[in-house]
Structure 1
Amino acid sequence: MSFSPPFTAAHWPIGAALLQFPGVRPDGSAVQDAPAAEWARVFAEVAAAGFDHVDLTDSWLRPGDLEPARRDELARALKESGLGVTAISVVRRSVIDPDPEVAAANVAYLERTIDAAAELGITVVCVGLHRPLTPAQRDALWFWTEPGAQDPMGDERTWQLCADRLRALGRRAAGHGVALSLEMYEDTYLGTAESSVALLDTIGLDNVGLNPDIGNIVRLHRPIEDWERALAVMLPRANYWHVKNYHRDFDPATGAYFSVPAPMEQGVISYRRALDLALDAGFCGHICVEHYGGDGLSVSARNRDYLRELLAVKLEARR
């Protein structure tokens, strides 16, 4: 396949997720309300780790809930740190939450986030259908070892409602020149490759694509679909990509599954193979490197370097 990506390996936008930075300060106040100098300190750490982009993960800071003057402060802090933004990633704000008031509030929040992205010059907003962690998930060492909320599978009315709401958000985003990326996540309508593509087809907008975050599936302590086949199905429709990896094992004698976070080059997903699939599919979206546990920023930095090393070889081979 002949494909010339718009980026070189050295300049492909690869952002650091902010998962490892808590949204609550030691005194119990929200980072949302902190002075911009505190945001700048986090951006300085990200830049010192060698990043030129950041994913504004909204568990840390919610641009859509900032007043205009505070958004100006955020823009200045990013500029002074030398960081671009790969996307705003919205987490656990399902547009089909079973509580109608919560669902409506989530839709309104996503509308504000899309508007804020446009104002800040951010071209991608990443959304999902996953819901807040349950008490058992919050108490677990790794939240994915406990079952979470599930979308009502086979419920055509809820499926259509989901597509309608995401379509409306997609149209709002298109009016601003912003893309919407739907994040793969277990037990939601974005929980399998086929379901994700089917939902995208039901929405039917060019600026709405997929975030094929297969790491969210590989870590589950249960049988899962083959990661390579799933990526082959989703990558042609992908417009953003959260990447991370896990060690995974299965004991047939007991039926027990095991998973823990791993650097990208060491886990069960071969990103050497995944990048081939991505480039063959014409993927040219921004990328966000994630890692749970430990010094997530440093591991993410190594993941970024690993990706750039692979991209350099693979793009050269496609010239």
Structure 2
Amino acid sequence: MARAQAGRSSDPAGWPIAAAMLQFPGTLPDGTTVQEQPAEGWARSLEEVADAGFDCVDPTDTWLRVADLSPDRQQELRDVLADVGLRVPALSTSRRSPVDPDHGEENMAYLHRAVDAAAGLGAEVVCIGFFRALLPEQQAAQWFWTAQGPLDPAPDEDPDTYRLAVDRVRELGRHAAENGLQLSLEMYEDTYLGTADGAVRMVTDVDLPEVGLNPDLGNLQRLHRPVERWTEMAAKVLPHTNFWHTKNYLRTEDATTGAISTAPSPLETGVMSYREMLATAVEHGFRGPMTCEHYGGDGLSVSARNRDYLRGLLGTRRVRRLLADG
């Protein structure tokens, strides 16, 4: 089922494609945090995003927790964004599972604040997930996804926790709707959104038009373990898409030894075809913002390259026809 979304012009230049702030650390070299940083410091980082050709930014909360800023500091952020020429179409949260066994209530309060903060920034979407804080083994790894993280209990083995997850997402979805926003659920391994079937089950059980999926299949294709083929996953989840973290990975599977290796890549060179996925999503009614993410190296420059690639795909006659028909 297609998610109800605002209309989007067939002009690819007008589609909001944001830079994630993943490449900007939340802790500064002197040990202070971006949270404490004066607005001039925020401006220096955001100027880099604008200088890379972006007109949109997703102020990922690994960089700055907008939800925890005072009203005065939120106004400072809005002023900085206006000064550097950036807008915020989406606000992504990270590692704030609403059913975390130790911090679920605390995370729910934070996510409600994030909804209000996103509305104050003029966003269209708030993105949440069920992934939790990195374990020490993940923090020590070069790529955190190569070490085992926390696992959500299987819905059929722990139906009470699953029902709580559905209820809490529905609560957040209703809050988002009251603010004129949509809520997007980020796919991530070993959570209730860790498979295509699980993600579709969750969004179907929540059953709100304002709640859709962020089909961040890169989070799954990068795993050094067997996973469902991206084509099969995409066919299941793209009809439910209302926001998208776009990134890609090289993935090699050796059928003789079982060895699997992955590495981050630009969108057009990875294992997944965004040409096919984007057209399919648009055909199913996707008109939401996209955020470019990339790990390693000069992530901002790769994200800018990915933005241009996406705009090129949006400008193809194939996608333009789908937008005109939809």
TM over 0.5: yes
Distance 2:280 2:217 in 1: 13
Distance 1:121 1:303 in 2: 24
4+ residue stretches of structure 1 with deviation over 4 A? none
Q: Which amino acid aligns with 1:136?
A: E
Instruction: Assess if the C-alpha contact under 8 Å between 2:56 and 2:86 holds in 1.
Output: yes
Matching residue of 1:6? 8
Instruction: Assess if the C-alpha contact under 8 Å between 1:124 and 1:179 holds in 2.
Output: yes
**Residue of structure 1 aligned with 2:29, choices 26, 31, 52:** 26
- Cα deviation, residue 315, structure 1: 3.0
Q: Which amino acid aligns with 2:150?
A: A
Instruction: Assess if the C-alpha contact under 8 Å between 2:12 and 2:314 holds in 1.
Output: yes
- Secondary structure in 2 aligned to 1:21? coil
- Cα deviation, residue 5, structure 1: 5.8
For the pair 1:151 / 2:155, whether they are aligned, the reply is no
**Residue of structure 2 aligned with 1:226, choices 222, 225, 229:** 229
**Residue of structure 1 aligned with 2:216, choices 213, 218, 229:** 213
Instruction: Assess if the C-alpha contact under 8 Å between 1:86 and 1:288 holds in 2.
Output: no
Distance 1:124 1:103 in 2: 22
Instruction: Assess if the C-alpha contact under 8 Å between 2:20 and 2:293 holds in 1.
Output: yes
**Residue of structure 1 aligned with 2:90, choices 70, 87, 92:** 87
- Secondary structure in 2 aligned to 1:306? helix
- Secondary structure in 2 aligned to 1:32? coil
Deviations 1:250-272 (A, max 9, x none): 12232211000001000000111
**Residue of structure 2 aligned with 1:51, choices 54, 63, 68:** 54
- 1:251-290 to structure 2, matched below 5 A, reads 251-290=254-293
Q: Which amino acid aligns with 1:6?
A: R
Deviations 1:12-35 (A, max 9, x none): 100001100000011111101100
Deviations 1:39-69 (A, max 9, x none): 1111110000000101110000011100000
Matching residue of 1:122? 123
**Residue of structure 1 aligned with 2:164, choices 149, 155, 161:** 161
- Cα deviation, residue 317, structure 1: 4.4
- Cα deviation, residue 129, structure 1: 0.2
Instruction: Assess if the C-alpha contact under 8 Å between 1:5 and 1:282 holds in 2.
Output: no
Matching residue of 2:306? 303
Q: Which amino acid aligns with 1:150?
A: L
Distance 1:173 1:311 in 2: 28
Instruction: Assess if the C-alpha contact under 8 Å between 2:279 and 2:319 holds in 1.
Output: no
Distance 1:163 1:15 in 2: 28
Matching residue of 2:3? none
Distance 2:229 2:212 in 1: 21
Distance 1:256 1:104 in 2: 40
Instruction: Assess if the C-alpha contact under 8 Å between 1:49 and 1:297 holds in 2.
Output: yes
- Secondary structure in 2 aligned to 1:285? coil
Instruction: Assess if the C-alpha contact under 8 Å between 1:64 and 1:109 holds in 2.
Output: yes
Number of matched pairs = 314
- Secondary structure in 2 aligned to 1:187? coil
TM-score, length-normalised on structure 1? Answer: 0.96
TM-score, length-normalised on structure 2? Answer: 0.94
**Residue of structure 2 aligned with 1:182, choices 185, 188, 195:** 185
For the pair 1:292 / 2:295, whether they are aligned, the reply is yes
Alignment gaps of 5+ in structure 2? 1-5
Q: Which amino acid aligns with 1:260?
A: A
Deviations 1:259-318 (A, max 9, x none): 000010000001111112112111101001110000000000000001111111133444
Distance 2:7 2:74 in 1: 32
The alignment yields a C-alpha RMSD, in angstroms, of: 1.2
Distance 2:263 2:257 in 1: 19
Instruction: Assess if the C-alpha contact under 8 Å between 1:9 and 1:315 holds in 2.
Output: no
Matching residue of 2:134? 133
Distance 2:313 2:243 in 1: 18
Distance 1:305 1:253 in 2: 38
Deviations 1:228-269 (A, max 9, x none): 221121111111000100000112232211000001000000
